[in-house]
Amino acid sequence: MNISVVIPLLNEEESLPELFSWIEKVMTEHQFSYEVIAVDDGSKDDSWKVIQAQSKQNPNIKGIQFQRNYGKSAALQVGFEAAQGDVVITMDADLQDSPDEIPELYKMITVDGYHLVSGWKKKRYDPITKTVPTKLFNAATRYVSGINNLHDFNCGLKAYQKKVVKSIEVYGEMHRYIPVIAKWAGFDKITEKPVQHQERKYGKTKFGLERFVNGFLDLMSITFVGRYGKRPMHIFGTLGVLSFFFGILILIYLTITKTIFGVVGMTNRPIFYLGILTIIVGAQLFVAGFLGELIARNGADRNHYHISDKTNF
């Protein structure tokens, strides 16, 4: 199978028929073998009925229904697990992403050999309350992740080699950082393609402004887990030791000024408290590092590595 289109959706009944027939048109025009995996993330409207009806008419349309709303990342993850196509394309259900982009994305993955191609909504049709924070968000993500060639991390329209989606895990609200997660997993041939973006035709957005707060917190966890998840002592231990010895130095200095130079009153000098504080904080950081190591050692995936190839096995 050439292509799996994974579509997470929540209350998108009006958009679905149009979206499915548009995808079908593009696929038949280009003679792709394909599947559409629509993951209903606990919709309260008739989305699931629409999916069922459409899947009766077209066997390429498959549906998975969640019992309740788990979030876009969960829907993507379940779609990724089910996907069989050589190229996996994710797309929002609200018709803001255009299925006409599929053939070019497919080519960039199969011919140009990219691991991941992210859509770039160069000209966006979203309110300014969303576009301005998004710029900041993308700049921060570029800086922290070192993926400098992406303008738009959170575009719903993305294409992947199958092995990428089978190797990564998305949960919580991590869908905003799939390129970062993919990079940490070793898939670093990442690029972008400017894509058509449209205004939302039906329904309304499912994410409010809290997306930016959650987004930055998630970015910090992803970076931390990616960099130090398997060796927490290296970060906590380093910080702890630095802090501890900084405190010791301060106390040595104070002791010397008192005993040798006869300065009276050690405990009423402000720097004394800084010395005590950094020693305590340092010890605590060190303990946090040990605890982190113990937890990491017991983690089920402590020896889980992505193997890209084997020979003579």
Which residue ranges make up the site for Mg ion (CB under 5 A)?
A: 92, 94, 96
Whole-angstrom distance, CA of residue 185 vs CA of residue 178: 10
**Count, residues near ligand UDP per rule CB under 6 A:** 17
Select from 92, 101, 173, 192 the one that contacts ligand UDP (CB under 6 A): 92
**Closest to 191 measured CA to CA, from 163, 151, 223:** 151
**Which of these ranges, 89-97, 145-153, 162-170, 272-280, lies near ligand UDP under the rule CB under 6 A?**
89-97
Select from 2, 52, 55, 69 the one that contacts ligand UDP (CB under 6 A): 69
141 Cβ neighbours under 8 A, 6+ residues apart = 147, 150, 153, 176, 177, 180, 219
Whole-angstrom distance, CA of residue 153 vs CA of residue 119: 8
Q: Is 93 in the site for ligand UDP (CB under 6 A)?
A: yes
**Which of these ranges, 80-88, 90-98, 242-250, 263-271, lies near ligand UDP under the rule CB under 6 A?**
90-98
Select from 163, 206, 234, 269 the one that contacts ligand UDP (CB under 6 A): 206
Q: How many other β-carbons are positioned within 10 Å of the β-carbon of residue 265?
A: 8
Whole-angstrom distance, CA of residue 266 vs CA of residue 281: 21
**Closest to 159 measured CA to CA, from 252, 32, 309:** 32
- Among Mg ion, ligand UDP, none, the one that 197 touches (CB under a kind-dependent 5 to 8 A) is none
* CA atoms within a 13 Å half-sphere pointing along the CA-CB vector of 91: 29
Tokens of 218: 């998630």
Sketch the per residue contact string, 7 through 26, with ligand UDP: x for CB under 6 A, - otherwise: -xxx-x--------------
Select from 54, 96, 223, 243 the one that contacts ligand UDP (CB under 6 A): 96
Select from 94, 152, 173, 218 the one that contacts ligand UDP (CB under 6 A): 94
Residues that bind ligand UDP (CB under 6 A): 8-10, 12, 41, 69, 71-72, 75, 92-94, 96, 156, 205-207
